[in-house]
Structure 1
Amino acid sequence: MIRFPAREIYVGNKPLGGRNPIRLQSMTNTDTRDVEATVAQTIRIFEAGADYVRISVPNSESASVLPSIRKKVSNARFDYPLIADIHFKPELALIAARYFEAVRINPGNYTGMPSKNQIEWSESQYQSELDEMRNNLKPLLKTCKEYGRAIRIGTNFGSLSKRVISRLGNTPEAMVVSTLEFLQAFESLGFTDTAISLKASNPIITIKAYLLMVERMQQMGMAYPLHVGVTEAGEGEDGRIKSALGISTLLQMGIGDTIRVSLSEAPEEEIPVARKIAEPFQNLFTNTPREGEVYRIPIINFNPPNPPPIPYNLKAVVLSDQEDASCDFVLLKNTKEFGNAEKDENCFTQAKHKATGEIFPVFSVQALSNPSTIFDAQWNFLWIDFDNDLPKLETLKNVPGLILIFETKCNNLTNAIEQLREHLFRLELNPVLVVYQRLIHRSEEDVLLTAVEKTSLLLLQRKIHGLIFRAPVIATPSLAGKMVFGLLQATGIRITRNEYISCPTCSRTSFDLVAISKKVKEITQHISGLKIAVMGCVVNGPGEMADADFGILGAGPGKVHLYKGLTPIKRNLTELQALDALAKLIESQESAHIPKNE
């Protein structure tokens, strides 16, 4: 794996890109006008290990206290880079650039609002808005040059300009075009101390956007550092899975110079998670590349042809060796046949489908050479050890409904799977591949993040079709299965629960988003298959919740709007009123469902 060769830019005393480490960052969620609270939280984030801290500047009152925040943070011996987050009001960026080391702007809401009900732009109107945007940027770029500041062009899927959407829709392509418009304007004005990001709450859209952006940059001779993250990932296990899926997958492809894990939790809690995600890649990213190495954009096929049939028309299969686990099939041992079954942990003879109770055989490779072996007419599970059994797979040609449970001691699971797939292709075999992993870690979070990192790219490309893992630190088998189902849900392969989208909050959030997000989960646990969003404000909220079934959007101090799809159903509700109205709305619409064949 080779790192994308981004140019180095200086963000205060922590340079970004080049061969620098993957930088970690988070964002405060205090009211910026509350200087003491903002400074205290900024210090906690730095103490947790952040390289950068971003602070929202939503109004002139917030801008006026930036000098005090910078001074107090520095006086506390944290002379680290601060980044101002600007939306809607370009004039605030001019103030922020005098005191903070970098400024983040959003292309989607930096160029003003279109005319009411405007949905189409002529060529002249389109170009006129680009010219207006370029003129609006001149004062900011001049100020940033004067003070030696960097700028991040932060493109969000949920806040693309209507002008770009009118031609390209809400797509990764639109995100890339929006970013390039700003980069080209910057370059035409002689400014290149720039980083970029292209975030969405959907990890797949995020991955596609970054891949396309890197491709376009290479075509255009650009190499700007990339800030990587999945926005509005949520909290708890789901938030960690989404973030790790998007970020780890891109890091595996050499993409990512700084990362942020956007959790609906205390900002300082994001940094340990970000560190764990970045850690496996830090040495590779900071080492000097070997002579002659050239970065090439990985070819990723999200919809490969000829996928193998999977039992019961499932999109992916979850196995466990524990009877009380959350899974599709549980593997059973026959202690009468194998007296040492308790010692040999892989001595399984049967796979029971939990929903129907149907039993299918599990074989070892050694059983294939036994002439008395009887195969099932539908499905046959075969446990293989990659390090020893690969040469013996020729005998599989006549086995119907083949499901390979794959285990390897190889550190690089992706390489091992590629070797196995090549071998199977030569044998003209197309079995279901289930990866078995032993994950020995100190915490459940470590297990979760490692499982995502090892399998995400393989799952997204449908190169594997199921998972089973053993992790002693996980308290219950049902929790292990829950993690696997959560990963499959995040990849979009298999939907078995609700999807929750919630932002990490910032000073623009004026209600208790973390608490209401947890309560939304509580009142909807009895149903599945819905997408429900809880968003703090109008910056990214309406766009990111556009494809949600239901949404709660911050509307002012202690007030929220309730949405069904794109339509606001009730406005200016209290949090309790919104929760009650949401529960009644879901019940009345009868929208909850468990997708078929899942």
Structure 2
Amino acid sequence: MNKTYCPSLTEYKRRVARVVNIGEVALGGNNPIRVQSMTTVDTMDTMGSVEQTLRMVAAGCEYVRITAPSMKEAQNLLEIKKELRKRGCNVPVIADIHFTPNAAELAARIVEKVRVNPGNYADKKKFEEIEYTDSTYAAEVERIRERFRPLVKICKQYGTAMRIGTNHGSLSDRILSRYGDTPLGMVESALEFLRLCEEENYYDVVLSMKASNTQVMVQAYRMLVQKLDEEGLQPYPLHLGVTEAGEAEDGRIKSAVGIGTLLEDGLGDTVRVSLTEAPEAEAPVARMLIDRYTNRAELAQPIAPLVGEMPINPFQYIRRVTREVANLGGQNVPRVITDLSRLPNLEYADLRAAGQLYSPFLDKFQMSDLGADYIYTGQRPAPFMLPNGLKELVDYTAWRDAGHREEHFPVFTPAEYAVTAVRHPELNFVFQNLASLTGPVLDKLRADSTVVVILYSDNEHAMPEIRRAFFELMSAGVTCPVVINRQYPDLTPEETQLYAATDGGGLLLDGLGDGIVLSTELLPERSKEEWLTTLDGLNQLSFGILQAARTRMSKTEYISCPSCGRTLFDLQETTAMIRKRTDHLKGVKIGIMGCIVNGPGEMADADYGYVGVGKGKIALYRGQEVIKKAVPEEAAVDELIELMREDGRWIEKEVMEEPVGV
């Protein structure tokens, strides 16, 4: 099996794509990775679209996409573009097309680039399974090609670029019937259109493989690159994005898990971070993700290249096989360890940083849904009994000096682990990095049924080095559980959030990792309260990464679109309202879509859907089945909750009791 999908698994090398000129801003080749976003104003509102575009450009957008759902919007792109040029703004404009080939053909004469979705450009989606013979399938493909060919010719004539943008949730019934709901189906959907472009000698094409599920998204992009190489097609530029990522922290984490994983391997030529927020909020996040790689090759330390075949399948999620040690590894969900080792004078109330909420009035703890499984206290063990279920890791020397306490689990340095015979009878942890995994160490790890490795890297190219260490363990037949450890000193909270999601999420997406621990340096000038807030943030971030990688569901997941001119209600306000009512429903996935284009298909794996279908009208879905078709907007959230109640998935919020009158 050909597993090659990137220039190097160990050295930072950016894939060299074909250069595509989009207006005056070239894409691919040695050009910088570009940033783009999409307007949310009604396309018929010329001045509103222009003003929003100017704000987006000021925020860092290098391309601006505008929806054109019909001929009238496509025609109005000319007025928007005229006004932008009149104001001295030459940003390339991209027309976003769904369902309407005639609008695409008109827009291609006006703007610098058109985006088409092969799932709905000339196909229909009725969620029907269709039986095809090879000949009937070929006939359907030819029908699609004939409908698509005029657009290709127009784009070639006018020098207009095109993005063939596959979305996981809007694969056609034809593709689903042939390939199933798979990354391969996404890739083949795009390649059908791309092959026609090449037949017409039209090469100004950009490709994307977007999904809300980060596992599917990453696998599809990787497979696309592999298929392009395998078929001898041009190395077309890649537009990266996690569709319907959501809002706030969750949206940023999910975007970084998907986009960052691909950037780590040198894939990607343009990025759009899809947040349910104002579009000008997206560009700074995309820029922060991209800028991490500006000097990556120069700053990275060499990593030993992989010998032999990669021991994982990069196109399919398969979790690394590990033995179970306590509640780590095996079939257990990945565990979260909160690092409190640098926090002095640990008190009851400080455990809130690990998701354990202490009430002095009741003298008891209540664990939140984001309660850590372990805390690491280093040389400062907790001077009190921990709440039930929370376990403590301490440095080996502190464990030894305290008399081998059973409720403490020792953490060894590589040197200590090599020479120390006395260990906890059930569970021991040892720090390791790629350099320390020598032959004797691998032999010892393979034979030790009580050990869990905490795997770290100080390399600037950290995620690939940790992945390389996993490969070393797998090749040596070592099956002990592994906790991913990343440390982020001297970073802003925003950088830490995106970098940790990239590093941890990228490994988890490949089935690597049985836990995560994020660490930071505690600067002396900051107060203890400030550091507790920081540590609480890292604990929440750990759970967010596990959820975004689809490896541990600990909270409600919102698959919400970022809004555009098609949206039929205020997405930001509605998402906030639904979140307020439902954010305690652990593991439930709710899709919030502004229109039918981003409706049942785009929220492909949501449990419930809230979709705009008309002015003030909402359709409610159970999975991909519409249950209520035209619910008044003011009653829709209550009706959504009632639907969950009928399914036995609704629970009331629990509120922790607090002292009264004290």
| SS of structure 2 residue aligned to 1:108 | coil
Is residue 380–residue 399 contact of structure 1 (8 Å, CA) maintained in 2? no
**Deviation of the 1:158 alpha carbon:** 1.3
Shift of the 491–348 alpha-carbon distance from structure 1 to 2, 3 Å rule, reads farther
Q: CA deviation at 1:284?
A: 6.3
Distance (whole Å) between structure 2 residues aligned to residue 420 and residue 108 of structure 1: 40
> In structure 2, what is the equivalent of residue 380 of structure 1?
428
Contact 2:165–2:207 (Cα < 8 Å) also in 1: yes
Moved more, 139-148 or 36-45: 139-148
CA distance 1:392–1:285, change in 2 (3 Å): closer
- Is 2:489 the partner of 1:433? no
In the TM superposition, residue 480 of structure 1 has moved relative to its aligned partner by 1.3
Per the TM alignment, residue 395 of structure 1 is displaced from its structure 2 partner at its CA by 6.1
On the 8 A contact 1:529/1:592 being kept in 2, the answer is no
Alpha-carbon offset, residue 168 of structure 1: 1.3
Distance 1:65 1:308, change over 3 A: same
8 Å Cα contact 1:377/1:400 also seen in 2: no
Letter in 2 for 1:196: L
Aligned to 2:291: 279
Mapped to 1, the partners of 2:297 and 2:568 lie a distance apart of 39
Shift of the alpha carbon at 1:61? 2.5
Q: Is the 8 A contact 1:380 1:402 kept in 2?
A: yes
In 2, Cα distance between equivalents of 1:565 and 1:265: 25
Q: 1:139 to 1:332 in 2, by over 3 A?
A: closer
Residue of structure 1 in register with 2:607 after alignment: 549
Per-residue CA deviation, residues 195-221 of structure 1 (Å, 9 max, x unaligned), is: 111111111111111111111111111
The alignment status of 1:315 with 2:333, answered yes or no, reads yes
Within the alignment, does 1:230 sit opposite 2:242 as a pair?
A: yes
Aligned equivalent of 1:143: 154
Matched residues in 2 for 1:419 and 1:35: separation? 52
Post-superposition CA distance 1:285-339 (Å, at most 9, x none): 999xxxxx9xx9986263255324253263212111333313110123555999x
Amino acid aligned to 1:211: R
Deviation at 1:447, TM superposition (A): 0.7
> Which has the higher mean CA deviation after the structures are superposed, 463-472 or 69-78?
463-472
**How many Å apart are 1:558 and its aligned residue?**
2.1
Give the corresponding residue for 2:575.
Answer: 517
Mapped to 2, the partners of 1:403 and 1:523 lie a distance apart of 39
- Which residue in 2 is equivalent to 1:330? 375
User: In 2 relative to 1, CA 348–33 (structure 1 residues): closer, same or farther, beyond 3 Å?
Assistant: farther
Tell me whether 1:532 sits opposite 2:543 in the alignment.
no
Q: Identify unmatched segments of 5+ residues in structure 1.
A: 288-292, 339-344, 352-356, 594-598
Equivalent pair of 1:368/1:395 in contact (CA under 8 Å): no
> What's the offset of the Cα at 1:265?
0.7
* 2:526 aligned partner: none
Amino acid at match of 1:331: Y
Give 3-state SS (helix, strand or coil) of 1:489's partner.
helix
Taking the TM superposition and a 5 Å limit, the aligned residue runs for 1:63-78 are 63-78=74-89
Residue 584 in 1 paired to residue 642 in 2? yes
- Residue type of the partner of 2:620? L
* Letter paired with 1:382: V
Aligned CA distance change for structure 1 residues 311 and 462 (closer, same or farther; 3 Å): farther
Structure 1 contact 231–503 (Cα < 8 Å) conserved:
yes
Match of 2:224 among 193, 213, 218: 213
* 2:57 is equivalent to residue 46 of structure 1: yes
The answer for the alignment partner of 2:112 in structure 1 is 101
CA contact (8 A) 1:22 1:285 kept: no
TM-score, structure 1 as length reference: 0.88
Quick one: which amino acid aligns to residue 165 of structure 1? L
Matching residue's letter, 2:519: R
* Aligned residue-pair number: 574
- Residue-by-residue CA offset, 1:478-515 (whole Å, 9 max, x unaligned): 32111101101111221222221011111111111221
Contact 1:439 / 1:470 at 8 angstroms: preserved in 2?
yes
2:245–2:252 contact (8 Å) kept in structure 1: yes
Q: Which residues of 2 match residues 156-555 of structure 1 at below 5 A?
A: 156-222=167-233, 223-283=235-295, 300=314, 302-312=317-327, 314-322=332-340, 323-324=351-352, 325-326=354-355, 327-333=372-378, 349=398, 358-365=407-414, 367-368=416-417, 374-384=422-432, 393=441, 399-414=448-463, 416-417=465-466, 420-421=469-470, 429-471=478-520, 475-555=533-613
* Contact 2:410–2:428 (CA under 8 A) maintained in structure 1: yes
Q: Is the 8 A contact 2:33 2:270 kept in 1?
A: yes
Aligned to 1:341: none
1:342 corresponds in structure 2 to: none
Report the Cα distance in structure 2 between the residues aligned to 1:245 and 1:431, rounded to whole angstroms: 25
Which amino acid is the alignment partner of residue 423 of structure 2? F
CA RMSD of superposed structures (Å)? 3.2
| Cα distance, 1:405–1:349 mapped onto 2, change above 3 Å | farther
Partners of 1:484 and 1:305 in 2: how far apart?
A: 20
Superposed CA offset, 1:85-135 (max 9, x none): 111111112221222101111111111537996733444443333223222
Task: Quote the sequence identity (%).
Answer: 38
- Distance in 2 (CA, whole Å) between partners of 1:204 and 1:336 is 38
Instruction: Return the alpha-carbon distance in structure 2 between the equivalents of residues 27 and 336 of structure 1.
Output: 51
What displacement does 1:358 show?
Answer: 4.7
In the TM superposition, what whole-angstrom CA distance separates every residue of 1:218-258 from its partner, at most 9, and x where no partner exists? 11111211111111111111111111111111112222111
Q: What amino acid maps onto 1:145 in structure 2? A: K
